[in-house]
Amino acid sequence: MKSKINLLFGLTLIFSSKAVFAHGVTLAKASELSLHRVERLVALCNLGDANQPVNIPGQPGYDPTKCKNDPNKPKKGIEPDYQNKPIGLVIIALAHQNEDEPSFKTTVFQYKAQDGTQRSVDIILDEEGRPLSYQENAGGLAYNAPAWPDKDATTLSENALHYILEGAVTKPELKPYSEKLKSFSIVPGKNAQGQLVAVVDFTADGEAKILRVRMKTNGDFDSAEFVQ
Amino acid sequence: MRILCFSLIVLTLSGCRFYYEEKTPQDPLDYSKLTNISYQTVNKEIFQPKCISCHGVSGGVNLESYAEVKKHLSAIERTVIVDKTMPKNGSLSNGQRELLAAWIRAGAPENPEPEPTPEPLKPYFTSIKAKIIDRRCIVCHSTGGAASGVPLGTLKEILDSPRELVLPGNPDESGLIIAVERTDKKRMPPPENGNPLSQEEISVLRKWIENGAPESETSGPNQPNPTPTPSPTPAPLEPTFVSIKQHILTKRCISCHSPGGKASGVPFLTYADLLSSPREIVLPGNVDESGLWIAITRQDDKRMPPTENADPLKADEIEVVRKWIEIGAPEK
């Protein structure tokens, strides 16, 4: 009798906690939406007073770490370096009761500064991947970040996530990297033909192997493999 | 001799048949001429070139004016369409006969119907969809398209998108406006696919969003969009955990006070996190000794949110937190 009560209690606990149910979107999808959010926040950073723009790319004194907004107005958005110089992303699923509560937290990291510090931005999403808030974490300017000749690093990372999201539908080996994604990093590398590609390494909870996706610099898929 | 006569007869009949084909050209009807068919069309195509040479002012049946043609309409129909005895040289093509027949069937109108004025682009979804989205976007932004992950087929899809494509009342931060106004290679429609939207089109899009993104003209400007938006206007800040979490904790605290954050040891995700924490974050009814209150009101470098991260909470936010703790820190 006691064991039945315990079982009933356990089941009640499980079914009363929405966190146990699958989130509305997968971790890979939430990561993709986070990268999109980064792009949006950078775009907002570039909005501002059209009559008095400041900090214009190509103009003397341009600082890519600063927004174009009027410095006398509250800052909107984040600096373009988050889009051009990210090195990776970490994602965590958050326990929650309702779908409009914080359900995912992603952190996008820039390349480390020379002093060892690292700028990052936390993005909080709800269960459907809708952005709720963001918070920048201080650090020095990104040092030694690669310059991508065509698409930026955020776009290349998004396209690599598309490979997982679309492939997971038909390829069971990709499914864990969609549903249990933990992190990814993006660095330059070479493909089999010796051409420059973006090497995006994905890790997933419970998976010993890394999923390595190579993307051409124009955003097209190049190749993928599992590595130890 | 008989063979010679027979051959002559065959030859003659062949000639006649050839002449018959020449007499009745098989030119098909150009159906575009049926649009807004009028006397002007048939006069130009048929009466002037084929009839006037005999049926002019020189006498007999006059076909030089609409009034005269109208007077003889029955006879024209009988001789040209039915009996095909006119024109006498048989030079009307099948297409021309059909054109004339169609004009007579339509009541032999003198003037063409005026072309309807195209409906102008208006600031509501049905108009924008017909004149912009369906023409410039839907090929990619639909199932099977290059941008099928960002569908634009229905208002619901657009408003429900987690990408904040349209924030009713806020065009400046709506993804749709950002995308069509930007001047880099991420502009929409893509530079390789054609010209950007015109200033008028962008202006109407802005107006639409400014007005709350109504679906149709009957939705009216500035009326709430009947389709639920993904981010409805939140309720005002109240002294309850649910409200404080929505307005303050989510925006100012959770990025650190959650797993993986700098303050992951002091989570702020649930009601229990705050009330059951051994750190006495919230002591219901006891504002002065609640850790949360102390943290948000202190003036040194241990203030929360941290001084290097953000501004302090606003005065009204601090007051609501105080009130909340004072009345016993209710959850809802």
Helical pair A27-45 and A153-167, crossing angle rounded to 10 deg: 160
Considering the domain A153-227, what is its CATH architecture?
Roll (3.10)
- Alpha carbon A108 to chain centroid, angstroms: 6
Q: How far is A185 from chain B (nearest CA, A)?
A: 17
Q: With contacts defined as CB-CB under 8 Å, which chain B residues touch A92? A: 258-260
Q: Is B310 left (phi over 0), alpha (psi -120 to 50) or beta?
A: beta
A94, A130, A162: residue with CB nearest B269: A94
Can you tell me the distance from the alpha carbon of A44 to that of A67, in angstroms, rounded to the nearest whole number? 9
Q: What integer pLDDT is reported at residue B84 of this predicted model?
A: 86
Q: How confident is the model at residue B233 (pLDDT cuts 50, 70, 90)?
A: low
Q: What are the extents of the domains in chain A?
A: 28-137, 153-227
A4-18, B115-129, B229-243, range with the lowest pLDDT: A4-18
- DSSP for B19-71 reads HHHHHS--PPP-GGGGTT--HHHHIIIIIIIIITTTSSTTSSS--SSHHHHHH
Burial of residue A98 (number of CB atoms within 10 Å: 0-12, 13-18, 19+): exposed
- Chain A interface test: which of B184, B255, B256, B304 (most A C-beta within 10 Å): B255
User: What is the CB neighbour count within 10 angstroms for residue B83?
Assistant: 9
User: What is the CB neighbour count within 10 angstroms for residue B242?
Assistant: 16
Indicate whether A69 pLDDT > 70. Answer: no
Query: What tokens does A86 get?
Result: 């990210």
Q: Which residue has the higher pLDDT, A17 or B285?
A: B285
User: pLDDT digits over A179-217, tens only?
Assistant: 999 999 999 999 999 999 999 999 999 999 999 999 999
Can you tell me the distance from the alpha carbon of A68 to that of A136, in angstroms, rounded to the nearest whole number? 17
Can you tell me the distance from the alpha carbon of A111 to that of A144, in angstroms, rounded to the nearest whole number? 7
Distances (CA, A) of B221 to A187, B120, B122, B166, B209: 49, 17, 11, 16, 10
The answer to whether the Cβ–Cβ distance between A128 and B149 falls below 8 Å is no
Q: How far is A214 from chain B (nearest CA, A)?
A: 20
User: pLDDT digits over B105-153, tens only?
Assistant: 888 988 877 767 778 999 999 999 999 999 899 888 988 888 888 999 9
The answer to whether the Cβ–Cβ distance between A95 and B255 falls below 8 Å is no
Q: With contacts defined as CB-CB under 8 Å, which chain A residues touch B172? A: 47
Instruction: Spell out the long-range contacts of A68-76 with Cβ–Cβ below 8 A and sequence spacing 24 or more.
Output: A69/A45, A73/A48, A73/A49, A75/A45, A76/A44, A76/A45, A76/A47
Listed in sequence order, the residues at least 6 apart from B29 whose beta carbon sits closer than 8 Å to its beta carbon are: B94, B95, B98, B99
Q: With contacts defined as CB-CB under 8 Å, which chain B residues touch A136? A: 309
Helices (H), B211-328: 241-244, 250-252, 271-275, 291-297, 315-326
Q: Please state the rounded mean pLDDT for residues B7-21.
A: 53
Q: Which of B173, B292, B264, B270 is CA-nearest to residue A122? A: B264
Q: What integer pLDDT is reported at residue B30 of this predicted model?
A: 66
Q: Are A98 and A17 in contact (CB under 8 A)?
A: no
Q: How far is A38 from chain B (nearest CA, A)?
A: 11
A102, A122, A129: residue with CB nearest B162: A129
Query: What tokens does B235 get?
Result: 């309720």
- Alpha carbon B68 to chain centroid, angstroms: 49
Mean pLDDT of chain B: 83
User: pLDDT digits over A105-143, tens only?
Assistant: 999 999 999 999 999 999 999 999 999 999 988 888 899
The answer to whether the Cβ–Cβ distance between A122 and B261 falls below 8 Å is yes
Nearest CA in chain B to A30: B162
Is 0.85 exceeded by the ipTM? no
The one-character DSSP state at B76 is: H
Q: What integer pLDDT is reported at residue A70 of this predicted model?
A: 62
The one-character DSSP state at A19 is: G
Q: What are the extents of the domains in chain B?
A: 17-105, 125-219, 241-326
Q: What integer pLDDT is reported at residue B149 of this predicted model?
A: 87
Q: How confident is the model at residue A23 (pLDDT cuts 50, 70, 90)?
A: low
Q: How far is A100 from chain B (nearest CA, A)?
A: 9
Can you tell me the distance from the alpha carbon of A65 to that of A82, in angstroms, rounded to the nearest whole number? 9
Q: How far is A124 from chain B (nearest CA, A)?
A: 7
Q: How far is B27 from chain A (nearest CA, A)?
A: 53
Q: How confident is the model at residue B316 (pLDDT cuts 50, 70, 90)?
A: very high
Q: With contacts defined as CB-CB under 8 Å, which chain B residues touch A102? A: 250, 254, 258, 269
Listed in sequence order, the residues at least 6 apart from B150 whose beta carbon sits closer than 8 Å to its beta carbon are: B141, B161, B163, B165
In percent, the amount of chain A with pLDDT more than 70 equals 79
Instruction: Spell out the long-range contacts of A205-213 with Cβ–Cβ below 8 A and sequence spacing 24 or more.
Output: A205/A176, A205/A180, A205/A181, A206/A176, A206/A180, A207/A176, A207/A177, A207/A180, A211/A164, A211/A174, A211/A177, A213/A160, A213/A163, A213/A164
In percent, the amount of chain B with pLDDT more than 90 equals 39
The answer to whether the Cβ–Cβ distance between A102 and B269 falls below 8 Å is yes
Residue with tokens 């682009």: B121
Q: Which residue has the higher pLDDT, A4 or B42?
A: B42
Residues 31-90 of A with CB under 8 A from B: 33, 36, 40, 43-44, 47, 90
